[in-house]
Amino acid sequence: MTTTRVSSKGQVVLPKAVRDAHGWMAGTELEVVDRASEVVLRPKAVHDSRFPPITLEEFKAMRPKVFGPPITDEEIREVVLREAARRYDAERD
């Protein structure tokens, strides 16, 4: 366990290992939850206004219907390699 101190301005420095483990960078907004015997920090939920929250049922209804057998791993591999070759060739031109 690592300890830290509260500054005269009420600021607390989170140890780098903790920030890195959670992917928190400068500017990350955290919610402060005050509980009886502890304070909990958690990232503030970010909602992109272009993508409002939807239910699982709404998501399922939006998915395109797929007919036919599922694609195989080999077919996926072929498509990926073909696209990689196309992009490589395009960069060389």
The answer to whether residue 77 sits within a structural domain is yes
Which secondary-structure segment (H or E) carries 81? helix 73-92
In a domain, 47, yes or no: no
64 domain residue, yes or no: yes
Convert the pLDDT of each residue in 20-73 to its tens digit: 999 999 999 999 999 999 999 999 887 777 878 889 999 999 998 889 999 999
Q: Provide the domain limits for residue 85.
A: 56-92
Residue 6 lies in a domain: no
In a domain, 41, yes or no: no
**Number of domains within the chain:** 1
Q: Is 60 inside a domain boundary? A: yes
**pLDDT confidence of residue 91:** 87
Residue 84: inside a domain: yes
CA distances from 42 to 4, 46, 52 (A): 18, 12, 21
